[in-house]
Structure 1
């Protein structure tokens, strides 16, 4: 009996050591069922360990952490809309530079080629070069040349709306993922794409886009081939506009001033110190950003131009911050994803603060099939809209479905303007007003501080306002 007991104990210890039961187990075998992963015998249960996300084209890694978001100097504008608050931002990726004219022209070139007869589609994407026009300034050369002339190819694209920036991010996501599949040999480039027969990440993963197969298809363990799935970890997450917290956190670049958990110096700008000029011996006196030094002084005196830029400057101008990001202060202001509210810093969460969530789901027809629009994109329906969530207005206090314009729900007329309906009113700050960050070539030094914030209707554009893209990081916040 004792021998049998010893044998059972020895066998259990042996199996445990092999990782079949308990412990961390083998990466090829489930530690909860003992079934083999990625094996035809057990039904090809998928599992991949040690996944490490690759940065998409143009992106740099921004390791997340905690920081004080909001005002770090006197609020000279007296808006009181950026109260300081400690928050935490998850790790993410951000464009090394602002999106340039060349980057954006690739987008409009693609639209011309794929939708040659759709003038409205192209015009909806083109920057509004008329924003360069001024009643009392000779800016006509910029109206004609800034976006289209090769001399400005590496300058930041401006005069794009928030909605145009969002559309560019979606297009870039699809082109990057399409190129990844081509490089993996899963697809071939198809220059005949048009109409609904256009690659998008969503339609490919949903099985609605076929394309032309490449030479290296994904194989199951039984030798059959299949389409790429999101679970394979090959396609990248979406390019998007950064949140306000992400942009501000990345702009400060505090990672260069941290020893252990000690922040040795709190930046005012994206560089150390409170000076706007280079203090090092090599470039002493050189401007650190493209901004207006004083009234009527856009670039300094001939023979010694202070920032070497009369309007914008190339996107790789000046020194990057400690994350490797260029022009986070000056050159052009940049759109972020957030809906503007004066007290957003007090309303939003401590982790990943953001106002602007709109929850959607894919629309299906009566047969349950996914529906696409005329451009091949999946149609989405809004199921929840949190842009106006608990922002302090009367609508946030009403039961869902209640009309805040009804006579019995009105509280005051003083802070509202009339809308088109007789007797109705609405706030001057709507759900379509978005935040933009950073100073520009037209701004004084105050706006170079990353904690400052301004806002603009998402359908409007300015000749000093551009954008850069971000991407969510999946998995470990600092990598393996």
Structure 2
């Protein structure tokens, strides 16, 4: 009885001490002070209203973009299209994780641990149980091995550098993983070079279908969690397949990997691959935040169709193009964007294919190439009549069952009509093209956005 009384008094004291700073008043739970951080390479697009759609003549007679006043919230947007260099960072990360997973699995099967040399250096971190925390050991003993993937949840060892030089492989098991698992068979190689099997580069992730969950009257949280697995390497053959009877083999061979094109927009990426990139970019940033005890950032994602048009207009009401005016040539006689200005003459604007992502003048939101260069994926599904029924607040017609996704902005191979900020077009989400890229956005949290 005495022990119970002491416990009760201690509990009362704890509650009293927790609320003592508020002097008995309702002061709310005090969290960490929030300081918004502008993401690297992004610009803040301030909230506002605009007339979305074709206020000018609809020369294509598409009749799918009637004018409508809508309002969008503040968000950050990449100031350029995602470049080859940036997308290669994603590819390299996935390649490293695939190799580390294969090494860890083989080490586990062989019973080789971190205390051993060779492949043991790449064993799963939880194989070293002596250094596990109480929580990690409990999770390993009770939950490891559950799920579709036997090794789900087991931490990879990122502390050890991977060895790519064949003369420095630490043992035969390492060579087995690298040679037999990651490269094409010898009969599929030529010029004496072994080529990485890019089909092995798959990114797996899960996401929650919030909209479906919100509209459901029942169902558990797990019913709305979706699993994705996506091959993430760009389709470089688009440079040949998109253009019959045309010699574009140099672009197929060099465009994605050669340093000469590092700052050019990535192409050959499907809508699904662009979504996977957004998820990885969020994970990559939040892994960094977690290590330093910082709050997580909002997810990176593709812009909605309305966000894209609002950002492309750059705050200019009624503008035909991102620079405002109805003409594609400046007062000094220079073209304002990379497109096909004349029939058959792709080079009249000083560019034959794509150009560097920071080319031509940015719009008033400091965004480059919102017209021309490459068309850009949006998160919105394409419906001809979506403007009629979409909300006037952050409008977005999105459907998991509609494979047609809106692309915006026009590209290096398009005529000027497709460069207009209000022109709509679409492509199927599993398609990759030599003229479609993307840029990402991130929601802004808070209202004081005028100084960001």
The TM-score normalised by the length of structure 2 is 0.64
Displacement of 1:433: 1.2
Distance 1:34 1:249, change over 3 A: same
- Within 2, Cα distance between the matches of 1:135 and 1:440? 18
Partners of 2:322 and 2:370 within 8 A in 1: yes
Choose which of 126, 133, 141 in structure 1 pairs with 2:233. Answer: 126
Partners of 1:132 and 1:140 within 8 A in 2: yes
SS in structure 1 at match of 2:282: helix
Partners of 1:56 and 1:236 within 8 A in 2: no
Partners of 1:29 and 1:35 within 8 A in 2: no
Displacement of 1:135: 2.6
2:324 equivalent in structure 1: 272
Partners of 2:55 and 2:318 within 8 A in 1: no
- Within 1, Cα distance between the matches of 2:71 and 2:90? 34
Displacement of 1:431: 1.1
1:162 equivalent in structure 2: 271
Choose which of 96, 99, 106 in structure 1 pairs with 2:89. Answer: 106
1:443 equivalent in structure 2: 414
- Within 2, Cα distance between the matches of 1:469 and 1:161? 14
Where do 5+ consecutive residues of structure 2 fail to align? 1-19, 103-181, 183-196, 203-230
- Within 1, Cα distance between the matches of 2:27 and 2:418? 58
2:443 equivalent in structure 1: 472
SS in structure 1 at match of 2:378: strand
SS in structure 2 at match of 1:285: coil
Partners of 2:320 and 2:420 within 8 A in 1: yes
Displacement of 1:76: 2.1
- Within 2, Cα distance between the matches of 1:69 and 1:52? 32
Normalized per residue, which structure has more helix?
2
* 2:299 counterpart of 1:238: yes
Choose which of 294, 297, 309 in structure 1 pairs with 2:345. Answer: 297
SS in structure 1 at match of 2:346: coil
- Within 2, Cα distance between the matches of 1:30 and 1:328? 51
Displacement of 1:178: 2.1
Let me know the Cα RMSD of the aligned residues.
2.1
* 2:27 counterpart of 1:56: no
1:329 equivalent in structure 2: 371
SS in structure 2 at match of 1:439: coil
SS in structure 2 at match of 1:338: strand
SS in structure 2 at match of 1:434: strand
SS in structure 2 at match of 1:110: helix
Partners of 1:291 and 1:443 within 8 A in 2: yes
